[in-house]
Amino acid sequence: MPDPMMLGLIGLGALVLLIAARMPIAYAMILIGGAGIAALNGPALLLNQLKTLAWGQFSIYDLTVVPLFVLMGALAGRAGLSAALFRAGAAWLGWMRGGTAMAAIAACAGFGAVCGSSLATASTMGKVALPELRRQNYSGALATGTLAAGGTLGILIPPSVVLILYAVLVEANVVTMFMAALVPGALAVLLFLLTIAGYVALLPGAGPAHAPAGRAEFRAATLGVLPVLGIFALVLGGIYLGLYNPTPGAAVGVALVWVYGTLRGRLGPGALRASVLETAATSGMIYLILLGAELMKIFMSRAGLPQAGAEWIAGAGLAPLAVLVLLLAALIVLGCLMDSLSMILLVIPFFWPVLVEVNGGLYQMAEGAGFGMGTEDLKIWFGILALIVVELGLITPPVGMNVFVISSLARDVPMAETFRGVLPFFLAELLRVGLLLAFPALVLWLPHALGD
């Protein structure tokens, strides 16, 4: 039999090559994971695993929320929620220098709370806000950089599909993860708004002031956004208050968005059919990636790579915080090469044993903030940090996926200019990571307060 460790390393290398060759990551993981299991333990074990693995993965109750939230986002994009959010933000903030860019950030946060996907948030808000930003003579760098960075808010602000999948992967409570994401999500919005304020203070021509909205326009924009805020409050408020768990909450959200879009005349049979087909395609892709990730996890576990990595790092004498920072830096690099969902599902089985190994040191580090960081708290804290640095990968060269999405909409703005516009937001995100590392209470306080 081949050396398991060597076979695992060869499998990892082959996976990277297949991804670099543009093979869909789900197929790459299924191929490498299946071949690795067969090589280590014979094809009979692989066939036995495949007999029950898909059912075991896809029948998890918590995962039923995924297609519902995907459908909610698909309906929201066609129902005009994004335009209502942007109009309200522009009415409230547009009178300031850089105010329309700030309105775009606020709208991205609101739409991300309904949609749960960064790429969808960037694409949808780009179509809504970019023409107005360019009409008001915003610089190409600030306009496109703001929308690329604002799109990243969709991955963390609840409800987030990636956050749900992370919770399932590490067996954390989904509602607790949603609670933990609220303060870091609000902090991101605040830091992005301050970033825009600083940007236009240094370069006043980049974000000119706009005439204040008239009283009638302000009233209409405010009234127009109230249904959107109501949907957000009913879905997440009901989940947090324990009226229903995330799956019925998502179903409530789908129904409310459908009613809203139908009353506005935006969700006819054609739009509804397109939303359902988009949901089927996206959900199928997610479940296929889940299957591939599980096969890779079995292969790597049998090869002994995660355990060997944990033992090596634990024996290297690194400080626990240094280990955590190294893992987060690795996620930033990987985020430049693959989408957030695939990365979380692929790397968490490798990183989690390492964190558990050094958890004693992280426990001591968190005690100063009033928390004893047991395994459950570590799941929450690391999950939020991991999703934030995955966000960073979406706007990091050379393959920042949000930048590519926005660049496809703003063909008159060179991609290099968009990356320059994103840089201040990248630095703001690094500041947020530093704050959450230094003060775990920013993540853990709300789950503890509402859970006790």
* pLDDT value at residue 370: 39
Contacts 24+ apart (CB under 8 A), 321-329: 321/361, 321/362, 321/365, 321/437, 323/354, 323/355, 323/358, 324/355, 324/358, 324/362, 324/382, 324/385, 324/437, 325/437, 327/351, 327/354, 327/355, 328/385, 328/386, 328/389, 328/433, 329/389
Among residues 217, 284, 288, 291, which one has the least CA distance to residue 52? 291
* pLDDT value at residue 93: 83
Beta-carbon contacts of residue 154 (< 8 Å; ≥ 6 apart):
108, 111, 112, 115, 116, 117, 118, 119, 120, 121, 122, 160
Whether 125 contacts 151, CB under 8 Å: yes
Name the burial class of residue 269, with classes exposed (0-12), middle (13-18) and buried (19+) by CB atoms within 10 angstroms of its CB: exposed
* pLDDT value at residue 424: 93
Tell me the CA distances in angstroms from 194 to 39, 105, 188, 190, 448, one per residue in order.
54, 11, 10, 6, 29
Task: Report how far residue 365's alpha carbon sits from residue 16's, in angstroms, rounded to the nearest whole number.
Answer: 35
Task: Report how far residue 409's alpha carbon sits from residue 128's, in angstroms, rounded to the nearest whole number.
Answer: 11
Whether 394 contacts 150, CB under 8 Å: no
Instruction: For residue 56, report the phi and psi dihedrals to the nearest 5 degrees.
Output: -60, -35
Name the burial class of residue 310, with classes exposed (0-12), middle (13-18) and buried (19+) by CB atoms within 10 angstroms of its CB: buried
* Coil/strand/helix, residue 452: coil
Task: Report how far residue 203's alpha carbon sits from residue 196's, in angstroms, rounded to the nearest whole number.
Answer: 10
Sketch the domain layout of the chain as residue ranges: 63-281
Tell me the CA distances in angstroms from 322 to 22, 157, 328, 381, 441, one per residue in order.
33, 27, 10, 16, 19
- pTM for this entry: 0.84
* pLDDT value at residue 373: 61
How many secondary structure helices (H) and strands (E) does the chain include? Answer: 21, 0
Residue in this structure with the two tokens 């988009």, named with its chain if needed: 278
Task: Report how far residue 258's alpha carbon sits from residue 266's, in angstroms, rounded to the nearest whole number.
Answer: 9
Spell out the alpha helix ranges (H) of 304-440: 305-315, 320-335, 340-357, 359-367, 375-393, 401-409, 415-438
| Relative orientation angle of helices 118-135 and 99-115, to the nearest 10 degrees | 160
> Per-residue pLDDT for the chain (452 aa), expressed as one digit of tens each?
567 788 888 888 888 788 778 788 888 888 988 888 888 888 887 888 777 888 877 777 777 888 888 888 888 888 888 888 888 888 888 778 888 889 999 888 888 877 767 777 888 888 888 888 888 888 888 989 999 898 888 788 887 888 888 888 888 888 888 889 999 999 999 999 999 999 999 988 888 877 777 788 888 888 888 888 888 888 888 888 888 888 888 899 899 999 988 988 888 889 899 999 988 988 888 888 888 888 888 888 788 777 676 677 666 666 677 777 888 888 877 776 666 777 777 777 777 777 776 655 454 444 444 344 677 888 888 889 988 888 887 787 766 778 888 888 888 888 888 888 899 999 999 999 999 988 888 998 888 887 65
Task: Report how far residue 5's alpha carbon sits from residue 15's, in angstroms, rounded to the nearest whole number.
Answer: 15
- The C-alpha angle with vertex 425 and arms to 420 and 428, in degrees rounded to 5, equals 135
Task: Report how far residue 76's alpha carbon sits from residue 123's, in angstroms, rounded to the nearest whole number.
Answer: 13
Tokens found for residue 6 = 């060597």
